[in-house]
Amino acid sequence: MPQLGFGVFQVPDDEAQEAVTTALTAGYRSIDTAQAYGNEAGVGRALAASGVPREELFITTKLWNSASETWTRDAVLREFDASLDRLGLDHLDLYLIHWPRPMRDDYLTIVRVFEEIHATDRLRAFGVSNFGPAHLRRLRDETGIVPAINQIELHPYFQQSEARAVHAELDIVTEAWSPLGQGQGLLNDPGIGAVAAKHGVSPAQAVLRWHLQLGNVVIPKSVTPSRIRENLDVFGFALDEADLRAFAALERGGRVGPDPDEFDAG
């Protein structure tokens, strides 16, 4: 899995094809979408028209958690097939449970179905999203399954040190959604600005470089072609220890998104 990919959260379906086409042309090969984003079809159109060989692509989507139902095996299998159809693919590289929804108590069922699909040639790997340490430990203890990856909210204002430590313990890859803080002023932070100026890069590039050096997988989203290209151009410099200390000092402990223990997706 490429460590730096392209996300399409909040990109309308009719804009997704152009955004993904721009990303693929710039050199991205990992694309992250979800059933809930409503743009799998647009992503699929871009993939089909790109001319990029399928074996060079890494495509991720996610199983949404309908508030109207608790997932059963047959329902999960139907939704997996529906995502493949919308994307125009015969297999996925990564499939994620979008939220744990502990109040529904169905993620153990879901992950067992994911394991079943994984035993076929239609799914290369599976993981979770927004799972906390307790959810991950329960998953391991009650099913023996450890997901390949956990995609969580993670940015300099919310650094998730406990979660990253548990991921390291369980050999789970950490993937950051909202890696740039989702418009909460992170990119205007003077500390990040100082690091960026020191290296002659943008604040977004400095933040993405921080993620990469921590070992996080990142999936920044943009529909602006210049920013799509800029976000990929983060391999020509490295943060030093002083820079990393400056980033560590930015922790605020506050989420942008909902608490996974309380969120029952609608």
Q: What is the mean pLDDT of residues 137-151?
A: 97
In a domain? residue 200: no
Taking only the tens place, the pLDDT of each residue in 177-188 is: 999 998 779 999
Scored b (16 or more CB within 10 A) or e, 52-82 reads eeeeebbbbbbbbbbeeeebeeebbeebbee
In a domain? residue 159: yes
Residue 230 confidence (pLDDT) above 80: yes
Q: How many domains does the chain have?
A: 1
* Banded model confidence at residue 70, pLDDT cuts 50, 70, 90: confident
Residue 81 confidence (pLDDT) above 70: yes
State the catalytic residues. 37
Residue in 245, 231, 246 with CA at minimum distance from that of residue 201 = 231
Cα distance between residue 102 and residue 147, in whole Å: 17
Residue 69 confidence (pLDDT) above 90: no
In a domain? residue 96: yes
Domain with residue 52: its CATH number is: 3.20.20.100
| Phi, then psi, of 125 in degrees rounded to 5 | -160, 160
* Banded model confidence at residue 67, pLDDT cuts 50, 70, 90: low
User: And the tokens for 194?
Assistant: 């100082």
Quickly tell me which residue has 């990029």 as its tokens.
52
Taking only the tens place, the pLDDT of each residue in 84-132 is: 999 999 999 999 999 999 988 999 999 999 999 999 999 999 999 999 9
Q: What is the mean pLDDT of residues 19-48?
A: 97
Averaged pLDDT of the chain? 96
Quickly tell me which residue has 């998953």 as its tokens.
139
SS3 of 144-163: CCCCCEEEEECECCECCHHH
Percent of the chain past pLDDT 90, that is, above it, reads 92
Residue 172 confidence (pLDDT) above 70: yes
Q: Considering the entire predicted model, what is its pTM?
A: 0.96
Domain holding 228, by residue range, is: 6-186+210-237
In a domain? residue 242: no
